[in-house]
């Protein structure tokens, strides 16, 4: 897996991702503790609302950012957005009111909504080989897990010496170092195949996404992932400090257990995906999430919570990591930034449902009832995914072009006439998915 780090460009980008995520992880822990300081037992509701605002920024900004990204050099865009995120993070330690949390979260995550899809769409351009890209996805998943493992552990250590407000400084440093690493390499910036209007550029990724059966299935699984993930992210601090009456270090340990499970799964996924289909692996991970979320309704103690959070981490990574492979083979190179932005926006729309549900239901109904509700939502999402994602999902699809003249370049170039087969994606020549014959 580590062999792909021999690629200098990917190595620098991976380093930027790791460092920025460690800083973000420190902010995640600190934000939960800040919410508890400001709102006490209502911390789950405050954190749920803050994370819902984050999702609103993601859903609204990502498609717009992707529409303009193809007009801007990719490296300049990524560096600028890193600097914007660092500038906003500077103000987080000085928050004294809940509304200030909401404003800063919106600003910070609006910049992330532009940064992350452009960053993700760059990787398949750097690593066009399928096996190399699969391993890059697993490394990327490991990098995200650092936010749940290394960052909480580092936070737990730092909290022994400093106030949690000081953790936000790590966020600023992470974004600045990330910007420096991105600046140190030249990045490809694919151009659109032809000039397009702003409406077409803004909606193109979502239209491709919703017209592709495997991606509609992915959207359903995104809701299952968000349902389980929201229980962990929103209510861990409530479980640990509200139910079990433990301290900040215990909160960090619980989050680290979740990340540890995710990391174990990410390490095993490359070999698993060499033999099993993306659909099989992702559905298995989603089922594990649904069962684990239901089990959270009957947690007898902190030790059981740590163990269950580890299991949920395994399911989380297993269900989520292969999604990049689906996106890569579902679009031409020039459409990948728009498609990655669509996945970013639509998957976070699922989190927009799950975050406030986890927070406000936890306050109004209690944690056991909230776990049951989220588990039921995950189960329904899995059922929908099974129904709309065909088990037979080949990359090369036979189809016909009855609307094209015989001398059209697409037919002539293929060499097989009006009915032919090739790697099928939604694009200007293929507006809808063909029906199976």
In a domain, 407, yes or no: no
Q: What's the DSSP call for residue 334?
A: G
Q: Could you tell me which of 276, 231, 16, 256 has the C-alpha nearest to residue 140?
A: 16
Residue 180: CATH number of its domain:
1.20.1250.20
Is the pLDDT confidence value at 319 over 80? yes
In a domain, 323, yes or no: yes
Is the pLDDT confidence value at 147 over 60? no
In a domain, 174, yes or no: yes
In a domain, 143, yes or no: yes
Q: Residue 303: phi, psi to the nearest 5?
A: -60, -40
User: How much is the pLDDT for 375?
Assistant: 97
User: What value does the CA radius of gyration of the chain take, rounded to a whole number of Å?
Assistant: 22
In a domain, 125, yes or no: yes
3-state secondary structure of 244: coil
pTM: predicted TM-score of the whole model, two decimal places:
0.76
In a domain, 426, yes or no: no
User: How much is the pLDDT for 60?
Assistant: 78
User: How much is the pLDDT for 154?
Assistant: 65
Q: What's the DSSP call for residue 422?
A: E
User: How much is the pLDDT for 198?
Assistant: 62
145 vs 238, residue with greater confidence? 238
The parent domain of residue 78 ranges over 7-388
Is the pLDDT confidence value at 152 over 60? no
Confidence of residue 196 (pLDDT cuts 50, 70, 90): low
| Alpha carbon distances (Å) from 7 to 2, 178, 294 | 10, 18, 43
In a domain, 115, yes or no: yes
In a domain, 319, yes or no: yes
Contact 117, 331 (CB under 8 A): no
Cα–Cα distance for residue pair 329/424, rounded to 1 Å: 9
Domain count along the chain: 1
Longest dimension (CA), the chain: 75
Cα–Cα distance for residue pair 430/404, rounded to 1 Å: 11
Mean pLDDT score of the chain:
82
Q: Return the H-helix or E-strand segment holding 399.
A: strand 396-400
Over residues 395-410, the pLDDT tens digits come to: 787 777 777 777 676 6
Over residues 6-63, the pLDDT tens digits come to: 888 888 988 888 888 777 767 766 776 777 777 776 766 776 677 677 778 777 777 7
């Amino acid at each position: 897996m580590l062999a792909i780090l021999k690629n200098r460009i990917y190595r620098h980008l991976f380093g930027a991702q790791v460092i920025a995520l460690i800083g973000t992880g420190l902010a995640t822990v600190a934000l939960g503790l800040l919410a508890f300081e400001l709102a006490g037992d209502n911390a789950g509701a405050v954190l749920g609302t803050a994370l819902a605002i984050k999702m609103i920024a993601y859903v609204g900004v990502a498609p717009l950012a992707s529409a303009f990204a193809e007009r801007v050099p990719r490296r300049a865009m990524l560096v600028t957005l890193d600097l914007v995120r660092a500038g906003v993070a500077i103000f987080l330690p000085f928050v004294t009111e809940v509304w200030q949390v909401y404003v800063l979260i919106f600003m910070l995550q609006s910049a992330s909504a532009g940064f992350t899809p452009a960053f993700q769409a760059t990787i398949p351009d750097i690593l066009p080989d399928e096996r190399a890209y699969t391993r890059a996805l697993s490394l990327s998943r490991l990098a995200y897990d650092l936010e749940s493992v290394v960052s909480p552990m580092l936070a737990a250590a730092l909290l022994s010496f400093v106030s949690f407000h000081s953790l936000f400084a790590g966020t600023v440093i992470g974004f600045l170092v990330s910007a420096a690493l991105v600046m140190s390499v030249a990045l490809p910036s694919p151009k659109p195949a032809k000039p397009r209007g702003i409406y077409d550029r803004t909606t193109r990724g979502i239209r491709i996404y919703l017209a592709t059966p495997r991606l509609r299935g992915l959207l359903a699984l995104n809701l299952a992932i968000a349902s389980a993930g929201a229980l962990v992210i929103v209510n861990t601090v409530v479980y640990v400090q509200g139910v079990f009456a433990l301290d900040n270090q215990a909160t960090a340990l619980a989050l680290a257990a979740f990340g540890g499970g995710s990391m174990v799964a990410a390490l095993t996924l490359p070999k698993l995906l060499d033999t099993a289909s993306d659909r099989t692996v992702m559905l298995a991970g989603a089922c594990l999430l649904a069962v684990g979320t239901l089990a959270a309704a009957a947690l007898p103690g902190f030790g059981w919570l740590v163990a269950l959070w580890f299991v949920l981490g395994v399911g989380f990574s297993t269900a989520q990591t292969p999604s990049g492979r689906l996106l890569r083979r579902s679009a031409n190179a020039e459409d990948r930034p728009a498609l990655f932005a669509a996945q970013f926006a639509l998957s976070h729309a699922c989190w927009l449902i799950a975050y406030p549900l986890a927070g406000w239901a936890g306050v109004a109904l209690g944690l056991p009832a909230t776990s049951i509700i989220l588990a039921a939502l995950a189960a329904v999402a899995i059922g929908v995914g099974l129904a709309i994602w065909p088990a037979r999902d080949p990359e090369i699809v036979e189809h016909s072009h009855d609307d094209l003249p015989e001398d059209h370049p697409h037919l002539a170039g293929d060499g097989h006439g009006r009915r032919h087969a090739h790697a099928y994606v939604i694009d200007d020549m293929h507006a809808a998915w063909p029906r199976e014959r």
